[in-house]
Copies of this chain bind each other. A is one copy, B any other.
Amino acid sequence: MIYFNCDYTEGAHPKIMEKMLATNLEQTPGYGEDTYCDQAKELILQACQAPQAQVYFLVGGTQVNFTIIRSALRAHQGVISPETGHINVHETGAVEATGHKILALPCGVEGKLTAAQVEKTAAEHFAGSMPPIHMVQPKMVYISQPTENGAIYSKAELEALHEVCRKWGLYLFADGARMGYGLTARGSDATLADMARLCDAFTIGGTKCGALFGEAAVLTNPDLQQDFGYAIKQNGGMLAKGRLLGLQFLVLFQDGLYYNICEKANRLAYEIADACKENGFTEYAPSPTNQQFFIFPDAALQELEKKYHFSFWEKVDEGHTAVRICTSWATKEENVRALIEDIRTAGAKL
C-alpha cells in the first residue's frame, strides 16, 4: 500500500537523522538552552530578516497554536478564524479548552479570510449598536499559510490583513504547519521576511516538512514575547532534550534544505493534479501546494484505493467523493509515476 494521504507518513529527512546520530552522545543543557537551538534560531531570524523577533521551538502543531493563542489573549478575548481553520475543526477544541472562543467566519473552498471580513467583524464589535461587553472581544486573527485546503495568501492579501489588524488592535497569527510548501508554491510571492514583517506571530512547521517533529514559533511582536517561556512549559510544549528541536531546524535551514525538499514535493503534486485534470477528474479546490483535492466517482476511487491511501475529505454527492492527495519531502518519484498511470487508467473508464 502506498500512502498519499498525508505528509507525515515517514520519519525525517536523512540529513536530520544523520545529525541526530552524530550528536547523540553529546551532553548538552536541557530545555532548549543548548547551542544547537541557538544556531537554529539565528538561521531562522536571518531568513526572516527580523532581528527583533524571537524564535521558540515546540513539539507539535496543535500545541504551538493553543500556546500562542492562550499566551496572547486575555480571558474575554477571542480569535477570528476561517470556518475551516485547523484550530476550529481538527484540534479537539484545544483553543476553547484554554478558555477562548473562536470567532469562525465563513470562507470559500480555499479556506482564506479577507481583510474585509475582519474589518466587518471588528467594526461590528467595537463600533456597533450593541454594547460590546456582552460579546467576546476579537483580539487576534488566525490564518494558515498555506490554508487547510492548500491555498496561499499573496503578499497583497497579507498586507491588507496586516492593515486591518493594525487598525483595530488585533494580532495577526499565521499557522505555518506547511509553510515550506507555501513558500515554494507556484505563484507564491510572500517570503519569510514578508511573514515576519506582516504577522505578529507565525509558525514554521517541521513535522510536515522534513523533520521528525517540531514547530518553530516566530514572535515578532515584543508584547507576545514576554514570558513566552513560561507558556511553553505550562502547556506541555517544552522538550526536556530540547536540542532535538534545534538540531532539526539547524539542518533544515542550512543550505536551503527546507525550501528544496518542499519545492520538490510541490512539483510532484502538480504532476498528480495535472494527471487528474487531463483524465477528466474535477478539482475540488485549487491548490498550488503539496496537497491536492480532487473529486472521484466512487467506483474509480475504490479501484485506486486498492493500491493507494488518500485522505477522505467530503462526500460530494451520491456517487462522488472528494479526497486529498498529498506529497511530501519523502514522496518517491516512482510512486508518483505509478499513481499517474493508474489515474490515467481510471480516467479511461469514465
Contacts and interface: CB of A to CB of B under 8 A. Distances in A.
A66 interface: yes
Contact of A75 (B59, B136, B231): B231
Interface residues of A, number: 80
B20 A11 contact: yes
Contacts of A208: 240
Given A92-B136, A93-B136, A9 B23 contact: no
A342 B18 CA distance: 36
Nearest to A10: B25
Interface in A8-30: 8-12, 14, 17, 20-21, 23-30
A299 interface: no
A6 interface: yes
A233 interface: yes
Contacts of A70: 75
A68 to B, nearest CB: 12
Interface stretch (A95-103, A195-203, A258-266): A95-103
A78 B93 CA distance: 8
B236 A236 contact: yes
Interface in A235-257: 235-241, 244
Contacts of A62: 233-234, 236, 238
Nearest to A63: B236
A150 interface: no
A247 to B, nearest CB: 9
A90 B9 contact: no
A172 B25 CA distance: 37
19 contacts: A8-B241, A11-B24, A11-B241, A14-B24, A31-B131, A59-B60, A60-B236, A78-B93, A91-B234, A92-B133, A93-B100, A97-B234, A99-B99, A101-B102, A129-B315, A130-B312, A133-B229, A133-B232, A207-B241
**Among all A-B residue pairs, the 5 with the closest Cβ atoms:** A63-B236, A76-B230, A11-B24, A92-B234, A93-B136
